[in-house]
């Protein structure tokens, strides 16, 4: 029996199309915590919060409330938690000593090994900041993968970031290629960061995944879902930087299930 409900944004193929939703889903699986998914379209997020009297995730610059997914409902505690980092910190502190349903002989693993939550938070901030100059092309992948109920809502919301409709971001193949070249260049920078560790295994801290691995995986999973696993674009990305991202995603594959 699941102890949690994870509210997640669906793509047209029922794959994760939100990096933070993918991150939390994988971490629940990694920790062996049973959960179920409730797919929630973008226009339904605010009503979900209001119906259950859940505080807004944050506030927009104009003072209006911001409602986001993932949202996790802990059935045992009758508590809702929003924002991926807050959700993971909650799981780390509340369920550290619970039985591990993936491996009853082991403790629930931490995604912040050796008390590295602060370091992972800094890494994630640097990663997201580096992506932002080229985020618009990433938004178009999400937009094209959404169900009809969410397409217009997402386009309007993202115009606050891009200043133009998403259909105008990459109007020609040549401009699209320029965007992705810059995107690849940034991933090369991240590859350089990770290479400094010289650790065995496909993950930031070696053989076991941590918060930062799941977060990077969330962004890559969106591209995989949007392009298709058999697409030439995805096959090409898997070759980038000596196959680092292919190894990362292959290593995270076992944690991608939609609940135990």
Q: How high is the pLDDT of residue 5? A: 98
Residue matched to tokens 């386009």: 155
Q: Residues of CATH 3.40.30.10 domain(s) within the chain?
A: 4-112
Average pLDDT for residues 109-138, to the nearest whole number? 90
Percent of the chain residues past pLDDT 70, beyond the cut: 95
Lowest mean pLDDT segment, chosen from 31-40, 129-138, 217-226: 129-138
Q: How high is the pLDDT of residue 84? A: 95
Hey, what long-range contacts does 154-158 have (CB within 8 A, 24 or more apart)?
154/42, 157/42
Residue 20 CA, chain-centre distance (Å), reads: 3
Six token digits for residue 50: 């209001």
Residue 259: which residues within 8 A CB-CB, separation 6 or more? 2, 6, 28, 34, 35, 36, 37
- 4-112 maps to which CATH number? 3.40.30.10
38 membership: H or E segment, kind and range: strand 35-39
Handedness of CA 238, 241, 245, 248 (dihedral sign): positive
106 or 155, which is more confident: 155
- 119-255 maps to which CATH number? 1.20.1050.10
Residue matched to tokens 């927009």: 60
Handedness of CA 130, 135, 137, 141 (dihedral sign): positive
**Which pTM was predicted?**
0.93
Q: Residues of CATH 1.20.1050.10 domain(s) within the chain?
A: 119-255
């Amino acid at each position: 029996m699941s102890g949690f409900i994870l509210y997640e944004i669906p793509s047209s193929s029922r794959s994760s199309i939100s990096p933070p939703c993918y991150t939390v889903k994988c971490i629940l699986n990694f920790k062996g915590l049973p959960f179920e998914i409730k797919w929630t379209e973008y226009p339904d997020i605010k009503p979900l919060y209001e119906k259950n009297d859940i505080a807004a995730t944050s506030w927009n610059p104009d003072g209006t409330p911001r409602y986001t997914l993932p949202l996790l409902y802990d059935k045992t505690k009758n508590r809702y938690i929003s924002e991926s980092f807050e959700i993971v910190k909650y799981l780390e502190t509340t369920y550290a000593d619970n039985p591990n349903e993936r491996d009853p002989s082991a403790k629930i693993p931490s995604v912040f090994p050796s008390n590295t939550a602060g370091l992972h938070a800094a890494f994630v901030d640097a990663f997201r900041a580096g992506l932002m100059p080229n985020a618009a092309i990433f938004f178009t992948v999400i937009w094209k993968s959404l169900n009809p109920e969410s397409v217009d809502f997402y386009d309007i919301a993202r115009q606050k970031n891009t200043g133009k409709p998403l259909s105008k971001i990459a109007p020609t193949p040549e401009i699209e290629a320029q965007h992705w070249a810059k995107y690849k260049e940034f991933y090369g920078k991240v590859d350089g960061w990770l290479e400094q560790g010289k650790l065995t295994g496909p993950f930031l801290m070696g053989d076991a995944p941590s918060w930062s691995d799941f977060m990077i995986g969330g962004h890559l999973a969106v591209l995989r879902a949007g392009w298709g696993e058999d697409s030439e674009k995805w096959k090409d990305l898997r070759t980038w930087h000596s196959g680092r991202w292919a190894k990362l995603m292959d290593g995270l594959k076992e944690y991608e299930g939609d609940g135990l």
